[in-house]
Amino acid sequence: ELKVEQNPLFLSMQEGKNYTIYCNYSTTSDRLYWYRQDPGKSLESLFVLLSNGAVKQEGRLMASLDTKARLSTLHITAAVHDLSATYFCAVDPSKMPTNSGYALNFGKGTSLLVTP
């Protein structure tokens, strides 16, 4: 069974600070996703990482993937209040397209609160 572990689960940080959220997973996968969820809202896709060494950046967020270490990181640079949300990583356990499409395995999420 594929396990996806995020840490920390809760993070309170001051505006302007940097921090990293970690996502470890237990089996081989070449596809990892990061989502953002605001309270009572849907999941918003942030990044899709499709190969070892992939790095993507959008604004103050940067995601990377190390498939050999089975680790992805989401780095926050100079945090602002608008980044307060829950962040999920999700792993696709299939190594190739199957008739099951892909049933993503999600971590428990990291609740981020950015304070003044």
Partner 1 sequence: GAGVSQSPRYKVAKRGQDVALRCDPISGHVSLFWYQQALGQGPEFLTYFQNEAQLDKSGLPSDRFFAERPEGSVSTLKIQRTQQEDSAVYLCASSVTPTGELFFGEGSRLTVL
Residues lying near partner 1 in the complex (CB under 8 A): 4, 33, 35, 40-45, 48, 88, 90, 92, 97-109
- Least distance CB 53 / partner 1 (angstroms): 21
Kindly give, in sequence order, each residue whose CB lies less than 8 Å from that of residue 51, ignoring residues fewer than 6 positions away. 30, 65, 67
- Least distance CB 19 / partner 1 (angstroms): 20
Kindly give, in sequence order, each residue whose CB lies less than 8 Å from that of residue 27, ignoring residues fewer than 6 positions away. 2, 70, 93
Nearer to partner 1, 99 or 116 (CB): 99
- Least distance CB 95 / partner 1 (angstroms): 11
CA distance 7 to 39: 19
Nearer to partner 1, 26 or 77 (CB): 26
Nearer to partner 1, 24 or 77 (CB): 24
Place of tokens 């309170």: 12
The count of residues in the chain is 116
